[in-house]
Structures are given as C-alpha cells and as structure tokens.
C-alpha cells in the first residue's frame, strides 16, 4: 500500500529539512503546500519532492489541507506538520497499518507541550485516499467525514510529540478562528478547544 505525506507549511525553514529527511524513506510521495513563506521553505521542500504548491491563506486550515490532499496520488494520506515528531518505530508501524484496508482511518495520540504543560488529544492522521475531506477552519479533522461514510477509525497506538510554539499573537489568532468555527459548526467541541487556548494564553 502506498502513502502520500501531505503538509501545509509557512516559514518552516529551520526544521523542514530534517523533518523531510527523516520521513522521506517511509512514504511514497510528498506533497507540500506553502501558505505564504518568506523564508526558504519551498526551496528545501523541492529537495525532496516536485509536488510543491502555493495556496493563498484564507483563515481556514481545512481548505489548505484539502488542497494538499487533492494533489496526492497514493492510496493512503498521512498528514503531518514539521513540528511534529514520530519515532522510527512508529513510522515503521505506519507501513504495517496501511496493509489493513478494513479501517478508513487511524487515530494517533498527539501530545503537545506548552510551557511544561502537556495537552493530549486523539487525531486521525492517517486515512485512505477515498474522497475523505477535512472540516473546520481550525483544529481541522477528517473524522466527521469518515463517520458520515460509516467508515471505521482504528486506534494506531502511535504517539506524536508536537513542539508547537505559542506567542500572544498566535493565541489571539487561534481564538478568532475558534469563534469562527463555533458559528459555522455549533455542534463541534469548541468550548474545550477554547479552554485549551485560553489556558495557553494565560501561561505565556
């Protein structure tokens, strides 16, 4: 089974080369969508793939993610960010997971540490390339789409360590997108998301 690594990036030059070098041997295709970098992110990406695209940022992570998936040609989609770390053992496990087509997607455990405080959530990071779409402008997810297909989501046991860096401007921007999400998708769990961002905001 083949895997497309799909990414959206902006000014990730400091970490992108090491990230792609580590992942390159575990995927069959790399798709990088740049949302407005002013550094050398695109030049670095082109060392590993010809599939580098520009996307005009529109305050909606799901639209950028769906654009990246639209450029993928392999059977499975693995979506990651350059500040996410997966062990070699778990990368090898991904190659085994995709042999099982009974599941439309697999949930990973994401651990984000901000100011020595850990936030843990389950995210479907690996799914079959079968018209699965992301929803939500922030904290985008494919799980609502998979569930609408009555597809099964398996637990992978894979842990991602997220090295996200927050500042006051970023926290305020995320809060704005969460408010936008709550208006368009009132059924989503925005209250918990808002609590997390507010907690991060207080600890900056």
The whole-chain average pLDDT of the chain stands at: 90
The better pLDDT of the pair 88, 173 is held by 88
Mean pLDDT of 58-85: 97
Q: Check pLDDT > 60 for residue 68.
A: yes
Q: How far apart are CA 158 and CA 89, in angstroms?
A: 9
pLDDT digits (tens, 9 = 90+) for 30-40: 999 999 999 99
198's CB contacts (< 8 A; 6+ apart) are 175
pLDDT in tens, 42-58: 999 999 999 999 999 99
pLDDT tens digits along 100-124 = 999 999 999 999 877 777 889 999 9
* pTM reported for the whole predicted model: 0.88
Backbone dihedral angles phi then psi of residue 115, each to the nearest 5 degrees: 50, 45
7 strand-pairing partners: 32
Distance CA 115, CA 171 (A): 14
Q: Which domains does the chain have, with CATH numbers?
A: 3-165 (3.90.550.10)
Confidence band, pLDDT 50/70/90 cuts, at residue 163: confident
């Amino acid at each position: 089974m083949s895997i497309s690594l799909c990414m959206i990036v902006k000014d990730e030059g400091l970490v992108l080369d090491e990230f792609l070098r580590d992942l390159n041997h575990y995927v069959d295709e790399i798709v990088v969508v740049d949302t407005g970098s002013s550094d050398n992110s695109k030049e670095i990406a082109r060392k590993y793939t010809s599939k580098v695209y520009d996307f005009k940022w529109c305050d909606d992570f799901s639209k950028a993610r769906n654009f990246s998936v639209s450029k993928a040609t392999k059977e499975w989609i693995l979506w990651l960010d350059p500040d996410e770390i997966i062990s070699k053992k778990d990368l090898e496990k991904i190659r085994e997971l995709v042999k099982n087509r009974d599941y439309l997607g697999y949930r990973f455990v994401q651990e984000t540490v901000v100011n020595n405080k850990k936030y843990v959530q389950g995210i479907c990071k690996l799914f079959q390339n079968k018209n699965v779409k992301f929803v939500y402008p922030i904290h985008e997810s494919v799980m609502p789409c998979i569930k609408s297909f009555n597809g099964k989501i398996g637990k992978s046991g894979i842990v991602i360590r997220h090295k996200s860096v927050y500042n006051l401007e970023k926290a305020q921007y995320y809060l704005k997108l969460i408010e936008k999400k709550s208006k368009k998708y009132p059924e989503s769990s925005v209250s918990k998301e808002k609590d997390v961002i507010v907690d991060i905001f207080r600890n900056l």
